Amino acid sequence: MSGVDRKTYELHGKVMNEFMSGRCYDVDEPFVINCIEGVFNDVGLSIKEIALFDIDGNVTNLLENARYVRVVATSKEVGGEQIFTLALIRVRGKYRVLYLQSAVKEG
pLDDT, tens digit (0-9, with 9 covering 90-100), for 27-65: 999 999 999 999 999 999 999 999 999 999 999 999 999
**Whole-number mean pLDDT of the chain?**
93
Segment 61-75 shows an average pLDDT of 96
Confidence band for 1, pLDDT divided at 50, 70 and 90: very low
What is the reported pTM? 0.92
Q: Is the pLDDT of residue 84 over 90?
A: yes
| pLDDT exceeds 90 at position 77 | no
Query: CA nearest 99: which of 61, 62, 71, 73?
Result: 71
Q: Where are the domains of the chain?
A: 3-105
Q: Cα(92)–Cα(107) distance, rounded to whole angstroms?
A: 42
